Amino acid sequence: MEIKINHKIIKEMCGNVSFKKGDSFYRSDKVTIHHWSSDFCEATVSGKEDFHVTIAKGEAGNIQTTCSCPTLANFQKCCQHVAAVLLALCDQQRQETLDSSVHDDRARYGDLTEDFLALFKDRPTRTSRQQRYFEKREILNTRLISKPVAVGKDQYLLGIELVIEETKVPHVREFLQDVKQGKSRVVSSKVTYDPSIHCFSNEADAVLQQLIRIIHDEEAYLETLPEADIPSTNETLLVPPSSWEYITSLLIKASFVSMMHDDHVYERFNLVKGSPPLQFSLKETDHAEYQLTIIGFERMIVLPFYSSVLCEGEIFQLEEADCERLLHLKQMLVSPSENSIPIPLNQIDFFLTKIVPGLKRIGEVQMSKALTETMLKTPLIAKLYLDRLRNRLLAGLEFQYGNVIIQPLESRDIPSGPMIIRDMEKEEEILQLMEASGFSQTDGGYFMQNELLEYEFLYHMVPKLKRLVQIYATTAIRNRIFRKHTPRIRVKVKEKERRNWLAFTFEFDGLAENEMKEVLAALEEKRKYYRLQNGSLLSLETREMEEIERFLNAVPVQTQEFEVGLNLPITEGLKYLDSIEESEVFKMEESFRQFLDQLQNPGAVEYEVPKELDSILRDYQKRGYQWLKTLASYGFGGVLADDMGLGKTVQSIAFILSELPRIRESGKPVLIVCPSSLTYNWLREIRTFASELQALVIDGKKEDREQLLKDMKELDVIITSYPLLRRDRKSYEKQSFHTVFFDEAQAFKNPVTQTARAVKRIEAEHRFGLTGTPVENSLEELWAIYHVVFPQLFQGLKEYSELTRKEIARRVRPFLLRRMKEDVLSELPEKEEILVSTDLLPDQKKLYLAYLAKLRHDTVKHLDKDTLRKNRIKILAGLTRLRQICCHPALFVDGYKGSSAKFEQLIEIVEESRQSGRRVLIFSQFTKMLELIGRELTASGHTYFYLDGQTPSEQRIELCNQFNEGERDLFLISLKAGEQG
């Protein structure tokens, strides 16, 4: 059309929102042009229904439009369907102008000038692979045919032919170079590759890219071969040995690669590790000699450059030495009819002992029945005899092959008789184990007179020898190691004289109480065994004994001699819950089972819900109340970690109401500590749900706060903020509270802050944390919270750091109650997550590996338990640097000129999103990364919104509103700023 159209004119006619929607229609190929002339255009825009659009040139030269879609009376601009057609016409005009310009330039300056100028024009090359998102190009059907190609006498290389759309590529190297450079290529009269409309599947493109790299290696390798041996074919690309390992790793995974061998095509490229189907048959001849016949050579091709053999479409990988032997053997047999080798009688022993094991590695060995009968094929039976005499351990060893017995300590010569193929490898292994056991050796056998070495041999070495030898032991030997004991620790809850205490009692079957004490003392001394009064050796290295030792090391040190039992407060015994529940050593009595059941199922003991809240609380909130009451009954602390909005406050108020008689009787109020913005919210909630509670917010001037604290005995609940608690910490340290609730407990997730120190010093009978995010960045935050609300659960940070995630989760489970909205409310729609992986760029990878090596050398290499905490910050900083290198090395490497794989992947996703009309939010922890992304987007002509911690609150709301109303397609947001509402 002879009408001037550009993006500015279209936006003026249609508005920004319709322009963007129209652009999405156009880029999604929803516009179909039916009629087009110099002053008129007729088109259809497809969607849920089709809309008919006309564009016409008015008498005054203006643009007149119509659309069949319903329009709003108060909307004066053109619709998105008109915008889509105008954008199609705009692109068409731009293409015509470009083609005309190129034609005029060539006419005026010639092809050379135009080609020279083209070198400096920014024309992005379309990749040959299928795009991960929004691909519109046709995926070409691709096949590869692999086959052996002769490059000399008995020398072969693997050749690869390329088939596109069932047409064999005649000049494969030139085709691959064009694919690399993004150029079009005519394959045949019916098949043409054009990167603007064609692409390859990701699987096929990965193989093609490797073949492109092979071209140079192939050229260099063929230069080393005699000219007469180089095959002349344009259809086949040869695989040099240097590329074999990597290309085969791709070919075996690809479903479109076949193998051609002996005019037969096998559907897949198969690589097999092991010997090929080759048979070696050894038989007697008429001349009292032997003959080795080889079967299967005629079906296989040896590929010595790859240490492989091709047979019936499969490639068998061999050791290099075995492949060389196979090649030489084949060359020895000049013709297929010559497949036999004579073996003289005087060489048969050497052949059987030296040659046969080697033949077994490259094929199957078969021997005639007559030859087999003359040989003794009985396997080795090794026998070990053990006895104990006059405090000495005696041992005798013999090797038996059928009726032939060999005394290895006397002589290892083969006795006269039938031929024997000895298992020398097994014999040597047995002798080495005996030598390593510390025995003294004589011509007749072994002896030992050392109790520790005897224990080590009987307990550790004999189980290893059992898989190799038959052991014959006397009664004295069998009784030397005491095996009848099954140590146990019985656990129960003491309920009479000392409530809420645990009793641990040690039991050893077959041992008197006085010996049990001595065994416990030996464990404390870390001895390997204990000699019982009857002379037997009791191993202290069993799994059960090691568990008991760990328990003894963990419990408080006993001041007196070891007793067969000990008592601990339940709060101190919690850290042993993992061991008690999982281990077979601990035996739980009924009282302890009931305690665990009540802890894990708070409903087991029903606590009455305050009447004021019984009809208000939901069922899950009542379960939360029961949980709080159960923990308080045992003197435990806990964290109520329900999702935001599920009523942590009202559940806490229910607990306070239930404890009101005891609160007033003791004169100790409940303390609630929360962020400053929530103090009066708590007061309002208390007045709403529990108006009988006498509650007060402690704030105002310092003298006013001090006076209020002096009069707090008349109050049931006092509320303060974390900042005021820090300022008034000395006043609070002098007070004692019935219960303390720490709202938004993540406020003291850093244990070294003043806030954490202040809350730690609060004295209260019951302590609870309330938070929707018990762990935000690291598991140490969980320890910091429990170090305040329930310090007995995890003890010190050093002990905590030694626990696995599984152990932490199991231990904390009864003392952390967390319900998500989807657990208690109607199901919410799930978000769709796609994890995109990409490899580092070469320069980026070098930098990453160099920095990783430096980090290991400077920090990790010299790390141990003592220096871990000291170097923790340095390690975290190093890990952050590695993350930054993965994002973009320019985040901290000054003058870095390269790019980043992750960065390029993001730009690709943004571009593909733009082409499909999608809008994108981009989050990053690093604001500098957002700046790099922003600069690239600006250079590419993209507009975007930006939000980080420096953006004022009121401006954040304005930016979000603008984006939600459809303005701009990109929003860059820092993670920390983005999570605040």
DSSP one-letter string for 571-638 = HHHGGGHHHHHH-SSEEE-HHHHHHHHHHH-GGGSPPPPPHHHHTTS-HHHHHHHHHHHHHHHTT--E
Instruction: Name the residue type at position 181.
Output: Q
For residue range 667-690, list pLDDT tens digits in order: 899 999 998 878 887 898 999 899
pLDDT band at 136 (very low <50, low <70, confident <90, very high): confident
Which H or E run contains 670?
Answer: strand 670-674
Nearest residue to 769 (alpha-carbon basis) of 623, 648, 886: 648
Phi, psi dihedrals of residue 464, rounded to the nearest 5°: -70, -40
Residue 597 CB contacts under 8 Å (≥ 6 apart), including other chains? 604
Q: Does domain 631-824 have CATH number 3.30.460.80?
A: no
CA distance 790 to 807: 17
pLDDT band at 916 (very low <50, low <70, confident <90, very high): confident
CA distance 770 to 639: 6
> Is 70 exceeded by the pLDDT of residue 496?
no
Query: For position 225, what pLDDT does the model report?
Result: 81
pLDDT band at 826 (very low <50, low <70, confident <90, very high): very low
Based on DSSP, count helices (H) and strands (E) in the chain, helices before strands: 39, 47
Mean pLDDT for all residues in the chain? 82
Check if 631-824 and 842-978 are the same fold: yes
| Strand 736-743 versus strand 670-674 pairing type | parallel
> Is 50 exceeded by the pLDDT of residue 356?
yes
DSSP one-letter string for 74-139 = T--S--HHHHHHHHHHHHHHHHHHHHHHHHHHHHHH-HHHHHHHHTTS--PPPPSBPPSSS--SEE
Query: For position 719, what pLDDT does the model report?
Result: 93
Q: How many Cβ atoms sit within 10 Å of the Cβ of residue 824?
A: 16
> Is 50 exceeded by the pLDDT of residue 89?
yes
pLDDT band at 944 (very low <50, low <70, confident <90, very high): very high
> Is 90 exceeded by the pLDDT of residue 469?
yes
Nearest residue to 696 (alpha-carbon basis) of 688, 866, 684: 684
Residue 275 CB contacts under 8 Å (≥ 6 apart), including other chains? 316, 318, 360, 361, 362, 363, 364
> Residue 674, by phi and psi: left (phi above 0), alpha (psi -120 to 50) or beta?
beta
CA distance 261 to 314: 9
SS (HEC) of 24-87: HHHHCCCEEEEEECCCEEEEEECCCCCEEEEEEECCCCCEEEEECCCCCCCCCCCCHHHHHHHH
How far, rounded to the nearest angstrom, does the alpha carbon of residue 401 sit from its chain's CA centroid? 52
Yes or no: say if 178 and 208 are a contact pair by the CB < 8 Å rule. no
For residue range 389-412, list pLDDT tens digits in order: 888 899 999 988 877 888 888 765
> Is 60 exceeded by the pLDDT of residue 505?
yes
For residue range 219-229, list pLDDT tens digits in order: 888 888 887 67
890 vs 645, more confident? 890
For residue range 684-724, list pLDDT tens digits in order: 899 989 999 999 999 888 888 888 888 887 899 999 999 99
The highest-level CATH class for domain 842-978 is alpha beta
DSSP letter for 718, please.
E
CA distance 17 to 6: 16
Residue 876 CB contacts under 8 Å (≥ 6 apart), including other chains? none
Q: What is the mean pLDDT of residues 930-957?
A: 84
Poorest-confidence range of 353-357, 738-742, 798-802, 835-839? 353-357
- Tokens in use for 97? 């102008």
Yes or no: say if 168 and 234 are a contact pair by the CB < 8 Å rule. no
pLDDT band at 95 (very low <50, low <70, confident <90, very high): low
Query: For position 386, what pLDDT does the model report?
Result: 92
pLDDT band at 972 (very low <50, low <70, confident <90, very high): very high
Radius of gyration of the chain (CA): 42
Q: How many Cβ atoms sit within 10 Å of the Cβ of residue 105?
A: 15
For residue range 579-628, list pLDDT tens digits in order: 676 667 777 777 777 777 777 676 566 888 999 898 898 888 998 999 99
DSSP one-letter string for 687-703 = HHH-TTS-EEE--SSHH
CA distance 248 to 122: 37
Q: What is the mean pLDDT of residues 33-39?
A: 79
Query: For position 383, what pLDDT does the model report?
Result: 93
Nearest residue to 628 (alpha-carbon basis) of 662, 651, 644: 651
- The packing angle between helices 7-27 and 80-109, to 10°, is 100
- The packing angle between helices 202-222 and 241-251, to 10°, is 170
Query: For position 829, what pLDDT does the model report?
Result: 42
947 vs 497, more confident? 947
Tell whether pTM > 0.75. Answer: no
> Is 50 exceeded by the pLDDT of residue 828?
no
Dihedral sign, CA of 870, 874, 876, 882? negative
- Tokens in use for 363? 């094929």
CA distance 193 to 182: 10
Which H or E run contains 911?
Answer: helix 901-915
Yes or no: say if 14 and 80 are a contact pair by the CB < 8 Å rule. yes
Strand-pairing partners, residue 446, are 395, 441
Residue pointed to by tokens 């193998």 = 259
Q: What is the mean pLDDT of residues 757-772?
A: 92
Q: What is the mean pLDDT of residues 549-561?
A: 66
922 vs 26, more confident? 922
Yes or no: say if 383 and 469 are a contact pair by the CB < 8 Å rule. yes
The beta strands (E) that lie in 704-762 are given as 717-721, 736-743
Residue pointed to by tokens 């008349």 = 714
Tell me the residue length of the chain.
981
Poorest-confidence range of 718-732, 746-760, 955-969? 955-969
> Is 50 exceeded by the pLDDT of residue 827?
no
Yes or no: say if 438 and 448 are a contact pair by the CB < 8 Å rule. yes
Domain boundaries, the chain: 7-106, 138-268, 274-347+357-376, 381-478, 482-598, 631-824, 842-978
> Is 70 exceeded by the pLDDT of residue 562?
no
> Any idea what the Cα angle at residue 941 is, between residues 936 and 946, rounded to 5°?
60
Q: How many Cβ atoms sit within 10 Å of the Cβ of residue 838?
A: 15
661 vs 581, more confident? 661
| Strand 537-539 versus strand 481-482 pairing type | parallel
Query: For position 353, what pLDDT does the model report?
Result: 62
- Tokens in use for 10? 């279209």
How far, rounded to the nearest angstrom, does the alpha carbon of residue 774 sit from its chain's CA centroid? 23
Most confident of 269-278, 487-496, 773-782: 269-278
CA distance 429 to 696: 82
Which H or E run contains 156?
Answer: strand 156-164
Strand-pairing partners, residue 376, are 420
Give the three-class secondary structure for 443.
Answer: coil
Query: For position 546, what pLDDT does the model report?
Result: 79
- The packing angle between helices 202-222 and 172-181, to 10°, is 120
Residue 305 CB contacts under 8 Å (≥ 6 apart), including other chains? 155, 156, 157, 240, 241, 244
pLDDT band at 25 (very low <50, low <70, confident <90, very high): confident
DSSP one-letter string for 799-812 = HHHTS-HHHHHHHH
Query: For position 27, what pLDDT does the model report?
Result: 79
> Residue 535, by phi and psi: left (phi above 0), alpha (psi -120 to 50) or beta?
left
Q: Kindly tell me the burial class for residue 631, based on how many C-beta atoms sit within 10 Å of its own C-beta (0-12, 13-18, 19 or more).
A: buried
CA distance 828 to 673: 32
Query: For position 865, what pLDDT does the model report?
Result: 63
Give the three-class secondary structure for 8.
Answer: helix
Which H or E run contains 851?
Answer: helix 842-855
How far, rounded to the nearest angstrom, does the alpha carbon of residue 170 sit from its chain's CA centroid? 45
Give the three-class secondary structure for 142.
Answer: strand
Residue pointed to by tokens 């069993």 = 542
Alpha carbon separation from 295 to 263, 290, 322, 357 (Å, rounded)? 21, 16, 17, 18
- Tokens in use for 864? 């141990």
How far, rounded to the nearest angstrom, does the alpha carbon of residue 183 sit from its chain's CA centroid? 40
Q: What is the mean pLDDT of residues 180-199?
A: 89
Most confident of 144-158, 414-428, 576-590: 144-158
